[in-house]
Amino acid sequence: MDSRDRDAMFRRGTAEEILAALSPLIDLPRSEQASRPALETLLKLVVEALVFLREEKRKTMKLESVCDATSFEGVVGLAYNESLPPDMRTAIADYLYELPGFVLEAVNAEGGKSDDPIYANLDIDVPRKQHDHYRSFLLKSLATEAAA
């Protein structure tokens, strides 16, 4: 897809159209195929949230927006984003809860450690590393599209 068509898709396309273009780009080594459902869920949740925000005129959407929003901080920020419908935020939080050791209340809206003393001993690096592992495959796959 040339850059003009891609830019138009991100400006006006539905979440389904964008996912139909991006999902086939996910290229995983054979040893990582078990990560595919988590990667596809991550991509779906981020694209749906960004399309919603774009439609509400709150956010411009482009491929780089998707890449940025898939960061740990970006996904946590979406889970806390009150501009999104509650069911969308819940779905994003559900993805995060699938990460080993993740507790939403243990992180702030920017993805940093919460100030709440109840969670002082909870290590947020474990879920962050698992998420970053998934994200690394996604970014590698999307980099091919960005270079086109």
> Each residue of 86-141: pLDDT tens digit?
999 999 999 999 999 999 999 999 999 999 899 888 889 999 999 999 999 899 88
2 pLDDT more than 90: no
Encoded amino acid at 33, one letter: Q
CA distance 30 to 107: 33
Is there a contact between 93 and 79 (Cβ–Cβ < 8 Å)? Answer: yes
Distance of CA 93 to the CA centre of its chain: 11
d(CA 113, CA 101): 13
Locus of tokens 């988590």: 38
Q: What is the pTM of this model?
A: 0.91
Q: How confident is the model at residue 147 (pLDDT cuts 50, 70, 90)?
A: low
Residue 69 sits at the vertex; the CA angle it makes with 102 and 101, to the nearest 5 degrees, is 5
**Selected residue with higher pLDDT from 18 and 58:** 18
